[in-house]
Amino acid sequence: MSEHDLSDGFRYISENTVGCLSLHDCICTRLHREDRALVFEMEWMEVLPFHPDNHTGQARQSGKGRIVLLDPIILNGTLRKWSTANTVPLDDSDEARDFEILDLEEKPSANGFELSLYGVFDGDPEKDSVEMKIAYSSSQVMFNELGEVSWFELQ
């Protein structure tokens, strides 16, 4: 994958399973570039019942996790700022912290996958929202546990 091992001892590591997650209302604590990967550090993820590492029959919260997109190309990335109400472009060198994902969709593409993301910065006086479209060859999803039943399973 890269010079650095991004798995950090996570118990569960799966390939190309972003579509087996629900990330609505989940917090990305850090989005950054590392070698040939784009890394989403997640406060928690909702692991859907059809994820290969979820054998509980219900969606479950994962606790801390990580999503790694390999060979990423940011096709479109913008950051909206409160102070100017303008958008500024994002590129591979930018980093974003502590935003809530409101919409995330992954689709297969000719060379792998495309991911569309929209998130908001809650309480950040400078930043309002982030929007990205990313192409990548493959992904890894990492987490250690399957904890509480996901909120949407309880309704």
pTM: 0.90
Classify residue 19: in a domain, yes or no: yes
Residue 144 burial (C-beta neighbours within 10 Å; 0-12, 13-18, 19+) = middle
Classify residue 116: in a domain, yes or no: yes
Q: Is 133 helix (H, G, I), strand (E, B) or coil?
A: strand
Calpha distance 49→28 (Å, rounded):
22
Tens of pLDDT along the chain (155 residues) come to 434 467 778 999 999 999 999 999 999 999 999 989 999 999 999 999 999 999 999 999 999 999 999 999 999 988 887 666 667 777 666 788 899 999 999 999 999 999 999 999 987 777 889 999 999 999 999 999 999 999 898 87
Classify residue 85: in a domain, yes or no: yes
Residue 152: phi and psi, rounded to 5, are: -75, -15
The answer to whether 69 and 15 have CB atoms below 8 angstroms apart is: no
The answer to whether 30 and 107 have CB atoms below 8 angstroms apart is: no
Residue 21 lies in domain? 12-148
